Structure 1
Amino acid sequence: MALLCGGMSATSDFAPWSPSFVADPYPAYAALREQGRAHWFAPTGQWLIPRYQDVQALLRDRRLGRTYLHRFTHEEFGRTPPPPAHEPFHTLNGHGLLDLEDPAHGRVRRLVSKAFTPRTVSGLAPSVARLASDLVASFVADGGGDLLPAVAEPLPVAVIADMLGIPESDRPLLRPWSADICGMFELDPSEESARRAVRASLEFSAYLRELIAARRAAPGTDLVSALIAAHDEGDRLSEQEMVSTCVLLLNAGHEATVNTTGNGWLALLRHPEQLAALRGDPALVPGAVEEALRYDTPLQMFERWVLDDIEVGGTRIPRGSEVALLFGSAHHDPARFDSPSRFDITRTDNAHLAFGAGIHYCLGAPLARLELHAVFGELARRAPGLRLASEPRWKPGYVIRGLEELLVEL
């Protein structure tokens, strides 16, 4: 393992439970990149991978997987099975595209893609634009406030709820369920976090099973009806696969869009020359969204299991290990990005990894971009005097990194 001068470990500044680290992890990332390509991090028992080229390659390397259960038992892999009380969460998570591996992954993705098509996403554009316009108009009329609950959070939840055909009266349930389930993706979640995730998994799954039953009896034009109808050579999605797909769409779409909006607008407000350029030229909106996804990415770390021995920079990482791919570090790697610490909405060579790579590339990326383009464009156009009202606070989570609040005024 590489050491810093004076014998200090390269991971000494990597402190994912520290509020100061979460607020600005980028200096620690620079130290990791400078000192090597793979670093053992004892507190979590993971290998940290900080450089872009390695992160990108390992995302595509089939010797790694989001799960190992398609090849090994827990015992064969040298891992302790999760507590039986956590089973509802793992059943829900384990049947979603994010955690499946081939051949199950390819089968489910092919079937889901028949329902969640590019045409489905493009057809949402008018309603997404209308929702973004209404939310920003209300926010401006109120004179500002916390951008997150007023604009960033309602948009993706409303879009997913519309897609799934969830009645408006039930939509307040969705955000708390999403937040509680996503708490399990943090490093070493507490037993209390697990308890909340299990409860949310049970409640959300039960809700969706009722919704699926209703759509079987009376199909509509929503995504749930399309998932029920999707078939391929006689094969169909199981009910659990449909439930897990719907939950993943909400969780991934909600967390990515909300945190990219918050983190991205904080970056714009801290770089007034970039914000002025955006306000002056609506054609810069797509570039601003891509730069927000790179510069302060909402998903800082993506974990993979090592299914067969690999080597990274001369370091052998054996089967049974876990690697932590540091997206936030990769996005600031000067070997890949010119002046990576510069926030530049006109950046053209911007091959960020915010939506992943390989077979697990985010199926919802086009929808996330549609939502982000709409909300960034509306805020730039309709809130020309937008400015920070106070220094924002960061949520304690590191893996899914976002702001607690973003107070702004007009």
Structure 2
Amino acid sequence: MTADLLDTADPGFLDDPYPVLAELRAEAPLVWHETWGVWLATTHGAVSAVLRDRRFGRIWTDQTPLDEMEPFNALHRNQMMENEPPAHTRLRRLVAGAFGRGHVERMRPRIAELAASMLDAPGGVVERLNDGDHVDILATYAEPMPVFVIADLLGVPRADHQDLRRWSQAIVHMYEPDVDLDTKNAAIEASEAFSAYVRGVVAHRRDHPGEDLITDLIAERDGGTRLSEDELVASVVLLLNAGHEASVNVFGNGMHALLADRMQLARVSGGEVSVETALEELIRYDAPLQLFERTATDDIEVEDVTIHQGQKVACLMGSANRDAAVFERADEFDVARDPNPHVGFGMGLHFCLGAPLARLELQLTIGALLDRLPGLALAEPAPRRPTWVLRGYESIPVRAKE
């Protein structure tokens, strides 16, 4: 079957999944994947229909064995992304209420200052590149930056960023198909450590409130209810994970696309196209999140296919973003593309709550980099991570000039 071409163990597919995704789209908007036992939504229309239809739920199923996986399961069972109404409504309203207190806009000067310090400090990115060094722009700039930003927002010490990043990566590796025992064990250990860390921060903030999101999450009420301790911990871990994993991969995938296409890079660094407009193409062209799953809570017809109750649909976000029915010259990288109705932040009930923060952070950090280093170039081939659902690079070595 054509669907079985989608083989996430194939290095060629991981390197460039888009030819296979194009074959799937050509076959049908919905294709059955026999090995996984799920429907694949391949087109922009099918993905949009599934994500917008409230009858398709984000239904959490505990990972097994239950006793061993409980630390991982608890973090997911108690957060909004893995719940449907009414639980989702209450959790999202509480988190959105805290988010809505001006925290995101207050981050603008902090992000700008942070970007400047990382680029311009003695021994920083700019000095090293101007001295002729090759620099891994992911490790030195893109990876620590969003962890610092979400840590500042939440009121978590920046100094802990390496632990936060390590725990986050161990947890999100569980979202790939067919994970092995080592991946599960790493996720369990990370979940335990991450939960204990957040509980400590929450306990400190209860006694010493600050002008940060965790303080507001502790105080936020929906009617007469607040987040339970487990919900509070799970929500903070979700925000820390989602607040930087996707941002790192948008930056990496997008910057690599820019650096590989000097004409498009010049359009942005020269001011012909704004960073704000270009960012949307960076998200669309090489999607950082390739798959988002939904479960049918009833028999539902989509694109003339009946999805039976209990069946799962894997929405192929990267495929939807390359659909020629919606995007002219869909496989071409065009930083001036407008309109750009990509599905990078999801749709419907679970549309990304942190999208405004992600856009602000990426606009400022990419803008600062290109302003200081308009001649930035790839120094050598950039290796991909061996993952597909969360698609990104291991490193991106760059140099100052060609």
Is the contact between residue 269 and residue 374 of structure 2 (CA under 8 Å) also seen in structure 1? yes
Is the contact between residue 41 and residue 315 of structure 2 (CA under 8 Å) also seen in structure 1? yes
Correspondence for 2:296 among 306, 313, 325: 306
**For each residue in 1:184-242, what CA deviation from the matched residue of structure 2 results, as whole angstroms up to 9, or x when unmatched?**
11112112111111111111111111111111122111111110110122111111111
1:63 match: 55
**For each residue in 1:41-77, what CA deviation from the matched residue of structure 2 results, as whole angstroms up to 9, or x when unmatched?**
12222211100011011001111111167xxxx8xxx
Is the contact between residue 30 and residue 46 of structure 2 (CA under 8 Å) also seen in structure 1? no
Is the contact between residue 68 and residue 305 of structure 1 (CA under 8 Å) also seen in structure 2? no
- Whether 1:27 and 2:19 are equivalent positions in the alignment is yes
Correspondence for 1:141 among 106, 127, 130: 127
CA distance in structure 2 between the partners assigned to 1:365 and 1:282 by the alignment: 25
Correspondence for 1:85 among 68, 85, 106: 68
Moved more, 281-290 or 225-234: 281-290
- For 1:38, give the aligned amino acid: L
Correspondence for 1:40 among 28, 32, 44: 32
**Structure 1 segments unaligned to the other structure (5+ residues):** 1-8, 75-79
CA distance in structure 2 between the partners assigned to 1:394 and 1:196 by the alignment: 21
Aligned residues: CA RMSD: 1.6
1:125 match: 108
Shift of 1:136: 2.6
1:256 match: 246
CA distance in structure 2 between the partners assigned to 1:368 and 1:273 by the alignment: 26
Superposed counterparts of 1:231-250, under 5 Å: 231-250=221-240
> Alignment partner of 1:370: what SS?
helix
- Whether 1:332 and 2:315 are equivalent positions in the alignment is no
CA distance in structure 1 between the partners assigned to 2:98 and 2:147 by the alignment: 19
> Alignment partner of 1:394: what SS?
coil
Is the contact between residue 267 and residue 273 of structure 2 (CA under 8 Å) also seen in structure 1? no
Name the % identity. Answer: 45
Correspondence for 1:15 among 3, 7, 14: 7
Is the contact between residue 209 and residue 243 of structure 1 (CA under 8 Å) also seen in structure 2? yes
1:228 match: 218
Superposed counterparts of 1:111-260, under 5 Å: 111-117=94-100, 119-137=102-120, 138-143=124-129, 144-260=134-250
> Alignment partner of 2:309: what SS?
coil
> Alignment partner of 2:381: what SS?
coil
Shift of 1:293: 0.4
Instruction: Tell me: CA distance 1:351–1:388, structure 2 relative to 1, closer, same or farther (3 Å).
Output: same
- Whether 1:277 and 2:260 are equivalent positions in the alignment is no
1:366 match: 356
**For each residue in 1:245-283, what CA deviation from the matched residue of structure 2 results, as whole angstroms up to 9, or x when unmatched?**
111111112111100111001111121111101111176
Shift of 1:327: 0.4
- For 1:147, give the aligned amino acid: I
Correspondence for 2:91 among 86, 91, 108: 108
Instruction: Tell me: CA distance 1:30–1:169, structure 2 relative to 1, closer, same or farther (3 Å).
Output: closer
Shift of 1:311: 2.5
Moved more, 86-95 or 325-334: 86-95
**Structure 2 segments unaligned to the other structure (5+ residues):** none
2:336 match: 346
Is the contact between residue 46 and residue 324 of structure 1 (CA under 8 Å) also seen in structure 2? yes
Shift of 1:169: 3.5
Shift of 1:319: 1.5
Instruction: Tell me: CA distance 1:196–1:81, structure 2 relative to 1, closer, same or farther (3 Å).
Output: closer
> Alignment partner of 1:303: what SS?
strand
CA distance in structure 2 between the partners assigned to 1:34 and 1:355 by the alignment: 24
- For 1:87, give the aligned amino acid: E
Shift of 1:118: 6.2
Shift of 1:81: 5.9
- For 2:317, give the aligned amino acid: F
4+ runs deviating over 3 angstroms: 80-83
Is the contact between residue 68 and residue 307 of structure 1 (CA under 8 Å) also seen in structure 2? no
> Alignment partner of 2:324: what SS?
coil
CA distance in structure 1 between the partners assigned to 2:200 and 2:3 by the alignment: 48
Moved more, 240-249 or 309-318: 309-318
Is the contact between residue 44 and residue 188 of structure 1 (CA under 8 Å) also seen in structure 2? no
2:389 match: 399
Instruction: Tell me: CA distance 1:189–1:17, structure 2 relative to 1, closer, same or farther (3 Å).
Output: same
TM-score (norm. length: structure 2)? 0.94
CA distance in structure 1 between the partners assigned to 2:237 and 2:323 by the alignment: 33
